[in-house]
Amino acid sequence: MTFRILLVCSGNICRSPMAEQLLRIGLDGVDVSVGSAGTIAWVGEPMDRDARAIAERLGVTDAAAHVARRLDAASVRDADLVLALAREHRRAIVELVPAATRSTFTLREFAALAASVTDADLDQALAATDGLRDRDAVDVVLGAAVAAVGAQRGIAEPLAVPDDADVIDPFRQGAAAYETSAAQLVPAVNAVAALLHRAAGRI
Other CB atoms within 10 Å distance of the CB of residue 78: 13
Is residue 31 part of the annotated active site? The answer reads: no
Phi, psi (5° rounding) for residue 100? Answer: -85, 5
Residues 146/103, Cβ–Cβ less than 8 Å: yes
Catalytic entry in 14, 15, 24, 50: 15
Nearest-angstrom CA–CA distance, 178 and 161:
21
Closest among 8, 3, 4, 5 to 71, alpha carbons compared: 8
Q: Kindly give the residue spans of alpha helices, DSSP state H, lying in the chain.
A: 15-26, 49-57, 73-78, 87-96, 107-114, 119-127, 138-150, 175-200
Measuring CA to CA, how many Å separate 167 from each of 2, 22, 37, 86, 203? 27, 15, 15, 6, 32
Catalytic entry in 31, 72, 119, 134: 119
Is residue 198 part of the annotated active site? The answer reads: no
Is residue 119 part of the annotated active site? The answer reads: yes
Catalytic entry in 9, 14, 50, 166: 9
Q: Could you give the residue numbers annotated as active site?
A: 9, 15, 119
